[in-house]
Amino acid sequence: MAKITYVEHDGTEHVIDVKTGLTVMEGAVKNNIPGIDADCGGACACATCHVYVDGDWLPKTGSKSAMEDSMLDFAENVEPNSRLSCQIKVSDELEGLVVRMPESQH
């Protein structure tokens, strides 16, 4: 279990306890957080689960696969801390993680 803060583009925060083993995307979808549509259901094939990982958390979320990297090419406003939230597995180590949704997803 990890407490994850999802921040919408307008600054609205949602603090959710997400079970270990789920992805950051699944935590958002199960709790109806706006801004993460996850059209492909987590298959790394849509980029509608794009988030910015806050500050120091980026290394803890693991590294991007080649597939994630190429799918991010289809996302808008990609930054160095961009990730696809369906590719980030929740573990206890992510307690306190903060992710922000890009402007294009609201």
Residue 38 found at the interface with ligand FES (CB under 6 A): yes
What SS3 state is found at 52? strand
- Of 7 and 46, the one with the shorter C-beta distance to ligand FES is 46
Please, what is the Cα angle at 33 between 85 and 78, to 5 degrees? 40
Q: Give the shortest CB-18-to-ligand FES separation in angstroms.
A: 15
- Of 2 and 25, the one with the shorter C-beta distance to ligand FES is 25
Burial status of residue 8 (CB atoms within 10 A of its CB: 0-12, 13-18, 19 or more):
middle
- Positions in 57-96 near ligand FES (CB under 6 A): 71, 84, 86
Burial status of residue 18 (CB atoms within 10 A of its CB: 0-12, 13-18, 19 or more):
buried
- Options 1, 9, 14, 45; binder of ligand FES; rule CB under 6 A: 45
- Options 31, 34, 42, 91; binder of ligand FES; rule CB under 6 A: 42
